[in-house]
Each structure stands twice: as C-alpha cells, then as structure tokens.
Structure 1
C-alpha cells in the first residue's frame, strides 16, 4: 500500500512539473517565440535524456528507425502545435482540448454503449469552447482551439506509434531517440520563426529549466510510478491533468476561466476519465 501511495505522489509531482514547465515556457514566448521555446525545450530535452539513458549503449536497428521516427515526428509536431495554441488560449483550456487526442484513441479501441456518452461529453465541451458558442468578449480565439485540437491529433499518433515501439528498446532509450527525431521538426521551425532569438545564450538557462520540468523529470517519475499503479487508475488520474494546468495557469500566468469555459473543461475531463473507467 505504501508503494502505491508513493507512486501516486510521484505521478502528481510529474503532472505539476509538466504544467508548471508549460507555464515557464509561455513566459519565454515574448523572448523566444512559441517555435523558439519549443525548439529549445525539445533539443535540450534530447540532450538530457540521452545522457540519462546512455543511448550510445542502445543502438537502434534499421527496422526500428521508421517507427521511432514516426513516434518522434509526432512528438515534435504535438509540442510545436501545443505551444502555438498557448500563444492564443489559456493553458488549462489548451491542455483540456489536447486531451481529445488520447480520448479518441481510447474510444476507437472500444465498442461499448458508454462510449456514446463520452463522445457526447467531449463534443459538448469542445463546442462550448468555440467562438460560435459565445458572443461575449471572453470568447476564445478559434485558431488557438484548432491548434490545440491539431496537437491532440498528433498526441493520438504519438500514442499509437509509441505502443508499437515500446518493445523495441527500453522506455527511456526509445523516448531519447524519439526526442531527437522530434528535434528534426522543432529546431528547423524554431529557426524559421525565431532564428535570432533562440541563438541568444541568455535564454539557455530558462530553456534548460523548461526541458527538465516538461520532459526529463516527469518522464522519469511517470515511468517509476507506473510500476505500482494499475493502468486504469493511471489513466483516470492523468485525466485530471487539465485541472493541474488550470491551477498552474492561474498561479504563474494569472489566467482564469469563465463559467462556461470551466464547464467545458469539466465535460472533457469527465469524458476522458469515464472512457478510461469503463474500458476493458
């Protein structure tokens, strides 16, 4: 029981680490831009994870290159689009909308009558976040919502490809190799959109902090936590990540949600947790 509680604690720390890392990244946008911040995060994360995982001791075969490349490219596109969405909408909402990706993977792999309810809840939540559903000045930026949905699409691909390669090498080694392929997406984008800014050496300390908070630390903690937490419990707890994101956005970025936006996020969280709870 103690190991379960300690694993739950590690998982909570990982969620807070990821979302506070995203808050720090958003504060970096005025200096490095969304693309620049993504490039710094992914590149530095690749370096850190490579050292921790000692990937030079775990070479990948020719058969593994393509699936790991697909995994990494999906990871890079997911991070880039997510940071682009953060430029336009609050952190908590961006995380909630992005959760449609893993939710879709779960629903497509299930054929239960409960799934109709989860699809309806998620659809209602997304609709309430669209500008067409609100005529008030608090209406969200439509492009920001679309970018978060696009990030969710690549998150779904990341999950699909990640499952295929999970047995290829050790988990952290696979993530490290995938992160380098992700860098092939994010670093060129960083130079295209924010080439001059990301070459500023004064940004490296904050880039390192974001890489550690958003990738190296949470990945390591999640892997350790998963050894003692049942898969279904893990999925339900991860569904609460938008709540952590809302808290981080409020504390670090002074972002708050309207009542409608809060209800919309609650619908998406309920859909995600419900689909996990009713899954086989």
Structure 2
C-alpha cells in the first residue's frame, strides 16, 4: 500500500490509480510514435539507447538511484538487476519488432501476456466476465494480420514475455509504496542503461553532432520511459497485479483515440464497438484487495 505521508505517496493518494494509468496509457503510444519516426535517421538500437540513456539521466535528477543500489540488501539488488535487464531487453525487442511488424500485431501479442497475469489473479465470476469483455474488445479493435517474418515474430514474442516480467517486477518494486517504487525504478533504469550501452551507443554516436536528433531522442526517453513508468508506479502502488493487468486492455482504445485526435484517423463503427467492450469490462471489474 502507498504511504500517504511520503512525497510520491501523497501524490499517488490524491488521484485515483486509474487516472495515473490513463496518463501512462497516453504516453505509451506517443513515445513509440516518435521513436518509429527516428528509426531511419538514428537506427533501431540507437533510438533504444537514447530512450534508456535519457530516462536514466532524468531519474538521476528526480531520484537517487546510486544510493538506492548501495542501500539495498541482496534481495533488493536482485530485484533491481532483474527489473533493469527486463527494461533494457524489453524496450529493445519492442523497437526491433516494430521495425519489422505492424504495431497492431506487436500490440496484440503483447496483450496475450497480460491476459495470463489477469487470469492468475481472478477470484470472482464478475472479474471473469470483465476479462472476457476486454479480450473481445481488444480482438475487435486489433485487426491482426499474421506476418511471415520469423525474426520479427521472435522479437515481438520476447517483448510480450518481458512485458509480463515488467508487470510482476514493477509491482514488487512498488510493494512498499510509490516513493520506494520510483527510487527502485530509477536504479533499475541506470542498470538498463549500463546493459544497453555496448549495443546502442554505436548507432547513437553517429548523430551526436545533430542537436535536433538528440533532442528528439531525449523526447522519446521522457515520453516512453519516464512519464509512463512513473505513472505506472503510482498506479501499481495502489492496484493489485491482476487489476493493473486488466487495465492494460485500455491501451488499444487509447491508441484509437490518439489516432483520431492527432492523426485525424476517425474510428470506424467496429473500432467504437471494440472500445465500448473494453470500457464495459473495465467498468464491471472489481479490484482485488
């Protein structure tokens, strides 16, 4: 539970956890949209490096990752290393999959893993109905077209598996409140930066003389790994794991709304039906305590 007397704890307690998740959901799609635009100029691994590097730098300013690493016991350090490696490989495999496959397919495969987490925490028939509605809604929203790119499918499957790991490890990081969760997230991001340094820096260094690309890369990091991950911690500190996993079904609906507003891609009747099913599932879902 969140400690309401702490800094992030007070912030988390003032706003419903679903609202924090909503902010995270918006940036969950803004970040990748910016990243895909940078792929031709920076390279996939270079963009992944900029994302993690700028996020690690931001967390060094708003948290104390080095102190968190020093003060953690061996179990805490194991959690931080696990979360950090998970973030590094998950973000990289997500971008490698997007470089080869449509985002709809990658998102669909990513959601399969979250279904398993939601099923693990089911305790009532009401929540089973909620889960069925959200799955139907996502199936309607995402017109999945299978791909024949084995490497792309491998990266997408790896991202889906590690996304489940992020949910599990992220909840453990937030178990003692939002403050410790954000501090642990910062330490994990520094570990992710160290792990990714040998791979992504080679591509990133080629554009270090282009300020606009550097600023764009920093923007990707802030939109993809700082704002949404902090909001996730604020939500995770107050929501059980299964409830958070079910809320992830909102992501396709969020993507549809963002596309309509930013890209003037007006949703079809099918899209509206899918959004309605997802919203209905979330509405009748009863959080587990």
Q: Does TM, normalized by the shorter one, top 0.5?
A: yes
Alpha-carbon distance in structure 2 between the residues aligned to 1:259 and 1:104: 29
- Tell me, yes or no, if structure 1 residue 60 matches structure 2 residue 67: no
2:49 to 9, 28, 39: 39
Report Cα offsets for 1:116-152 as digits up to 9, x if no partner: 9968x96995997353xxxxxxx68564444223211
Look up the match of 1:240. Answer: 250
CA contact (8 A) 1:53 1:172 kept: yes
Instruction: Please state if 1:103 is matched with 2:112.
Output: no
- Residue of structure 2 aligned with 1:20, choices 15, 24, 30: 30
SS in 2 for 1:89: coil
1:81 and 2:93 are equivalent in the alignment: yes
Q: Show structure 2 runs of 5+ residues with no match.
A: 1-12
RMSD over aligned CA atoms reads: 4.4
8 Å Cα contact 2:250/2:278 also seen in 1: yes
Q: How far off its partner does 1:41 sit?
A: 0.4
Give the distance between the partners of 2:49 and 2:174, measured in 1 at CA. 25
Residue from 68, 71, 87 that aligns with 2:83: 71
Q: Residue in 2 aligned with 1:206?
A: 216
Alignment partners' CA distance in 2, 1:230 and 1:38: 29
The answer on whether the counterparts of 1:129 and 1:145 sit within 8 Å (CA) in structure 2 is: no
Judged with a 3 Å threshold, the aligned counterparts in structure 2 of structure 1 residues 164 and 26 are, in CA distance, closer, same or farther, namely: same
- CA change 1:69–1:146 in 2 (3 A) is same
- Which range is displaced more, 7-16 or 206-215? 7-16
**Aligned equivalents of 1:128 and 1:159: distance in 2?**
25
The C-alpha deviation readout for 1:60-96, integer Å capped at 9, x for no partner, is 3341222210111111111111111211334344233
Structure 1 match to 2:196: 186
**Residue range with higher mean Cα deviation, 50-59 or 80-89:** 50-59
Looking at structure 1, the residues matched to 97 and 225 of structure 2 have their Cα atoms a distance apart, in angstroms, of 19
Unaligned 5+ residue runs, structure 1? 132-138
Is 1:93–1:246's contact at 8 Å kept on the other side of the alignment?
A: no
TM-score (normalizing by structure 1): 0.72
What is the SS of the residue equivalent to 1:129? coil
Distance 1:128 1:95, change over 3 A: closer
Deviates most, 7-16 or 28-37: 7-16
Q: TM-score, normalised by structure 2?
A: 0.70
Q: Equivalents in 1 of 2:269, 2:95: separation in Å?
A: 24
Q: Trace 1:141-220 onto structure 2 (pairs within 5 A).
A: 143-167=151-175, 170-191=180-201, 194=203, 196-197=205-206, 199-202=208-211, 203-220=213-230
Is the contact made by 2:50 and 2:217 (CA closer than 8 Å) also made in structure 1? yes
